[in-house]
């Protein structure tokens, strides 16, 4: 059987990693796929730049369209990133009858519905395991391994940069800005870290996971995102005192009223396994009705871990290239005509518990005023920490854990608390999930 020919768009970290794995493990890959798989062409913006892979037998070009138009290329690896040029290139590859493997979460989250529709019509596959959690095969687990389950909820640490920052803040008592600067020096965070620290990157990934878990269209515009920039080392320390750890989680939950899609800092009981995932590592916790809770852990980024997922997708595509398109595993796990129009709940309708930190004047009656406002909105208090004021200060920090309540009730209560003359500044609010 003739070899399968691969065209790689982008020879950056992931592209070079994929070439290395395909070359290094060529014999083992051929044994698994049933055919030899070779990279014959690749595109890069700068052909003179030194590569982290062997390109001696690969024809290089600065024009990715040449590769897409090449009739000898069977599979395109889209590894350039972004969601504009990448979208155009992938749609052109589909129109040319080529299968596509991508690691591009923004592309799938924002344009996946359109791309999958056109790919299905053309009889080609779009594989995207590497788009979420790097080398962790979470998409395959959800789409195939757990396909006999109704997925009830999932929660994931799906951005390594944010997890590194929060880990350093907890372990070493450092400030957010200080750790972010180190993350940029180490290459964990971009020069513009907005996507990582504001939850946008995690939101893209959560969009994909939720679609596969619940059989709904991709809907990134309905994901609530909140970053970690306002988390202080004091919050991290107070959480520890209360028996919790702060993680930047992506959470998707199916309820009787609709689906929750949210990314935000979250207090998790320290005894949970996912609360002990540190540094740049990723983890996704999935609760199915039959299997119960399952945890998937590993490297969420990097050349080799991401390449591992890319190459696994290539093997999957090669295995089914000659099969009837109607009998392939659907892109989003459910048959395209069976995707459900379940509403995504606005954040105000989400119910969860809360950690509150506020700065109050040290005088009688202040705590009573706060608890009365919470009671008026049917919010019960689980625990309170009231610190002594620092010498010379007239205010002191008050930390509260509440029981579950609707977000809109908490919004209203916080607004009233902040308007009290005895409260200084804004109330810090972090949501609490037991993940039990």
For the record, the structure tokens of 241 come out as 């005192």
Q: Is 222 a catalytic residue?
A: no
> How many residues comprise the chain?
436
Q: Are 8 and 294 in contact (CB under 8 A)?
A: no
3-class DSSP string for the chain: CCCEEEEEECCCHHHHHHHHHHHHCHHHHHHHHCCCEEEEEEECCCCCCCCCCCCCCCEEECCHHHHHHCCCCCEEEECCCCCCHHHHHHHHHHHCCCEEEECCHHHHHHHHHHHHHHHHHHCCCEECHHHCCCCCCHHHHHHHHCCCCCEEEEEEECCHHHHHHHHHHHHHCCCHHHHHHHHHHCCCCCCCCHHHHCCHHHHHHHHHHHHHHHCCCCCHHHCEECCCCCCCHHHHHHHHHCCEEEEEEEEEEECCCCEEEEEEEEEEECCCHHHHCCCCEEEEEEEECCCEEEEEEEECCCHHHHHHHHHHHHHHHHHHCCCCHHHCCCCCCCCHHHCCCCCECCHHHCEEEEEEEEEEECCCCHHHHHHHHHHHCCCCEEEEEECCCCCCCCEEEEEEEECCEEHHHHHHHHHHHHCCCCEEEEEEEEEECCCC
CA distance 378 to 405: 8
- Given the residues 98, 105, 140, 205, select the one marked as catalytic: 205
Q: Shortest CA distance to 428 belongs to which of 157, 277, 236, 241?
A: 236
Could you give the residue numbers annotated as active site?
205
């Amino acid at each position: 059987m003739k070899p399968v020919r691969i065209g790689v768009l982008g020879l950056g970290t992931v592209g070079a990693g994929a070439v290395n794995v395909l070359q290094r493990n060529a014999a083992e890959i051929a044994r698994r796929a049933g055919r030899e798989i070779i990279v014959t062409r690749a595109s890069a913006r700068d052909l003179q730049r030194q590569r982290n892979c062997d390109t001696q037998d690969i024809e290089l070009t600065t024009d990715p369209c040449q590769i897409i138009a090449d009739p000898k290329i069977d599979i395109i690896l889209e590894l350039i990133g972004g969601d504009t040029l990448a979208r155009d290139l992938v749609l052109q590859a589909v129109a040319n009858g080529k299968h596509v493997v991508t690691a591009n979460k923004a592309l799938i989250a924002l344009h996946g519905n359109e791309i999958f529709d056109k790919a299905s019509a053309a009889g080609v596959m779009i594989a995207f395991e590497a788009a979420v959690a790097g080398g962790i095969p979470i998409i395959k687990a959800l789409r195939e391994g757990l396909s006999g389950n109704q997925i009830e909820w999932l929660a994931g640490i799906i951005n390594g940069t944010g997890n590194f920052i929060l880990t350093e803040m907890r372990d070493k008592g450092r400030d957010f800005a200080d750790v972010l600067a180190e993350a940029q020096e180490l290459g964990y965070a971009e020069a513009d870290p907005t996507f990582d620290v504001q939850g946008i990157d995690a939101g893209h990934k959560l969009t994909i996971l939720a679609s596969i878990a619940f059989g709904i269209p991709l809907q990134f515009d309905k994901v609530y995102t909140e970053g970690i920039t306002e988390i202080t080392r004091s919050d991290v320390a107070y959480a520890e005192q209360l028996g919790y750890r702060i993680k930047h989680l992506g959470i998707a939950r199916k309820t009787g009223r609709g689906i929750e899609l949210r990314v935000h800092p979250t207090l998790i009981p320290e005894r949970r396994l996912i609360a002990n995932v540190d540094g740049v590592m990723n983890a996704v916790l999935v609760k199915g009705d039959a299997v119960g809770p399952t945890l998937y852990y590993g490297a969420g980024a990097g050349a080799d871990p991401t390449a591992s997922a890319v190459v696994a997708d290539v093997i999957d595509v090669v295995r089914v290239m000659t099969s009837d398109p109607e009998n392939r595993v659907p892109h989003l796990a459910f048959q395209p005509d069976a995707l459900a129009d379940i509403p995504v709940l606005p954040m105000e309708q989400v119910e969860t518990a809360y950690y509150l930190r506020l700065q109050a004047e040290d005088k009688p009656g202040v705590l009573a005023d706060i608890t009365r406002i919470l009671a008026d909105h049917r919010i019960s208090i689980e625990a309170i920490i009231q610190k002594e004021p620092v010498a010379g200060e007239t205010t002191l920090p008050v930390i509260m854990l509440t029981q579950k309540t609707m977000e809109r009730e908490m919004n209203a209560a916080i607004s009233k608390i902040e308007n009290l003359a005895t409260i200084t500044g804004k109330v810090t609010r972090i949501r609490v999930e037991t993940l039990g």
